[in-house]
Structure 1
Amino acid sequence: MTTERHPPTPSRSPRGEVFVSADELARLLTGDRPPIVLDIRLANDGPDGRPEYAAGHIPGAVFVDVAADLQSEPGGLAGRRPLPDIARLQSRAREWGVNDGDAVVVYDSAFGTKAGRAWWVLRWAGVADVRLLDGGLSAWAGRGHEVSTVEPAPPPGTVTLSAGHLPVLDADGAAEYAAAGRLLDARAPEVYRGEPAEPRRPRTGHIPGAISAPTHGNLTATGLLAGEDTLRRRFAGLGADGTAPVGVYCGGGVWAAHEVAVLAGLGIPAGLFVGSFSAWEADPRREVTVGDDPGR
């Protein structure tokens, strides 16, 4: 009797462990065990992103609200988006239909820069297989894949979560990384410089010693992730060549999470300062630097 041999499943590259293309996701969704797809919306001009989700999403994708699901109560030295309570996150993940061992794909309508928060939080909570849709919803629709307005009702999952599976920086840790020239600021360049001053914010500028590394600089003009060689050159020029871990922060721990994902795709370890600048600026003991110079 002849035994049929199937070719082994090719191992993913580090980039393939973190990102998935629209066409690959479409193929996976027709498989025997499709991934759980989570639609991550963070509205810029409203209380939540559900209206955007309702207007069109990947078929079967479950709505996840960053403010309600991926953080705890903000304020003070905890910053704008503290880590979520792990028990509540587990409850919500089960409502999304996630089981232990499930693959999860997260996406948004902002080229992944907001869904990166979900990638990071779920990986931090112990979900091993989480990937970001490269280019987000626009890449999906741009490849001609279906967009739906039907909200799914997934069966409850049984996933068990635990905290601490990714490195986290507090303000002291961020200061140490900055002093060593290994803290990246993922915000827009003008925000890094402290322009313009905002009356509603106690202070503007950046953590002394931090290096400007806007997360949008990791994307092409069409919102797709830049090529690996391009990204390696970019981060090497910023002092993140993989020889030592780096830290990343932004305003509230969203864009920085995307940059941590990009670095993970290059095999470069990075810790997230979850409180980010919103936590740093709330502490009057912490100095702030304005302008282009890191100020180390």
Structure 2
Amino acid sequence: MNAIISAADLRAGTAVREPVLLDVRYRMGGPPGRPQYEAGHLPGARYVDLESELAGPPGAGGRHPLPPLEVFTTAMRRAGVYDGGRPVVVYDGGQGWAAARAWWMLRWAGHPDVRVLDGGFAAWDGPLETGALPPADGDFTPRPGALPVLTADQAAELARTGLLIDARAAERYRGETEPIDPVAGHIPGAVNAPTTENVAPDGTFLPAERLTARFAELGATKAPEVGVYCGSGVSAAHELLALHIAGVPAALYVGSWSEWTRDPSRPVATGPTP
């Protein structure tokens, strides 16, 4: 199933009919997304907060661990997500990371039809609503496990036996700088494929054939198993979405580098992709 939808197709209503719209605008370290939502959003969209509803409190599991299931369930029902296959379209400001996290979480929780608005809010040229909609009465019941996840030990093993992709910027992967986490570098054996190279200058995803070629060069199409991590499990979801478009199944290491570096016994590598 197609995991992205263009603004033109969404506005025309031909690709999906009566979708549930989720606004997940978010910027790491930036202002909250709710004021942006209330200032203008796609008609019928409801706001979902990444920090409190698509992630749990920071801790041993990293900066953006999975939220408690009851928190996620309440958020999705309040946003109008239903069982029964009614499609969901998620969007953020245009970077794609937050929308991809919402896409991944809903798919992981068993929703069969979730798409990301390609290019996000910046690509939308249709009408807007202001203010906030009242809570909906969705009935979505998550069934976790529909998509694979990795523990730290499994990620380390996959770096040896399959393909583990680090989705962060190249300079963070190489260990030249680390603006967020306490240790610079990467998981030994991981290869680097920054999420910024998944998209065109306008933030829309590259065509499937170009993404397939990109990941094939890394060995993803021949690896027995593929996993992805980033700083805290958010931008890695964007890489997973790109891999999905390319036809490559992959697992998410949710804790990512922010969890990995909490244990000083875990090894750290620096330098370019081997």
Q: Which residue of 1 aligns with 2:173?
A: 192
Contact 1:245–1:268 (CA<8 Å) still a contact in 2? no
| Residue identity opposite 1:24 in structure 2 | D
Aligned: 1:118 with 2:102: yes
Contact 1:195 1:205 in 2 (8 A): yes
1:57 aligned partner? 41
Q: Residues of 2 paired with 1:36 and 1:181: CA distance?
A: 37
TM-score scaled by length of structure 2 = 0.93
Instruction: Show the counterpart of 1:210.
Output: 190
Q: What is the CA distance between 1:154 and its match in structure 2?
A: 4.9
C-alpha separation in 1, matches of 2:123 and 2:144: 32
Whether 1:248 aligns to 2:248 is: no
Cα 1:29–1:227 change in 2 (3 A) is closer
Do the aligned residues in 1 keep the contact of 2:149 with 2:253 (CA within 8 Å)?
yes
CA distance in 1, matches of 2:91, 2:240: 16
User: Unaligned 5+ residue runs, structure 1?
Assistant: 1-13
How far, CA to CA, are the matches of 2:216 and 2:246 in structure 1?
11
Partner of 2:146: 165
Q: Distance in 1 between matches of 2:169 and 2:37?
A: 26
Counterpart for residue 8 of structure 1: none
CA distance in 2, matches of 1:222, 1:98: 29
Considering only aligned residues, what root-mean-square deviation do their CA atoms show, in Å?
Answer: 1.9
Q: Measured at CA, do residues 163 and 197 of structure 1 come closer, stay the same or move farther in structure 2, by a change above 3 Å?
A: closer
The equivalent residue for 1:128 is 112
Unpaired stretches in structure 2, ≥5 consecutive residues: none
**Counterparts in 2 of 1:127 and 1:222: CA distance versus 1, 3 Å:** same
Tell me, in whole angstroms, the C-alpha distance in 2 between the residues paired with 1:164 and 1:212: 26
Aligned residue in 1 for 2:164 = 183
Q: CA 1:243 to 1:211, structure 2 compared with 1: closer, same or farther past 3 Å?
A: closer
Kept after mapping to 2: 8 A contact 1:117/1:254: yes
Shift of residue 30 of structure 1?
Answer: 11
Deviation at 1:113, TM superposition (A): 2.2
Cα distance, 1:110 vs structure 2: 2.8
1:12-23 alignment, distance < 5 Å: 14=1, 16=2, 18-23=3-8
Farther off after superposition, 145-154 or 204-213 = 145-154
Q: Which amino acid aligns with 2:81?
A: V
The question of whether the paired residues in 2 share the 8 Å contact of 1:184 and 1:211 is answered with: yes
CA contact 2:162–2:225 (8 Å) conserved in 1: no
Instruction: Give the drift of 1:42.
Output: 1.9
Report the counterpart of residue 248 of structure 2 in structure 1: 268
Conserved? CA contact 1:181–1:210, under 8 Å: no
Which string of whole-angstrom CA distances, capped at 9 and with x for unpartnered residues, describes residues 231-282 of structure 1? Answer: 1110000111155330000000011011111111222110000000000011
Tell me which structure has the larger Cα radius of gyration. Answer: 1
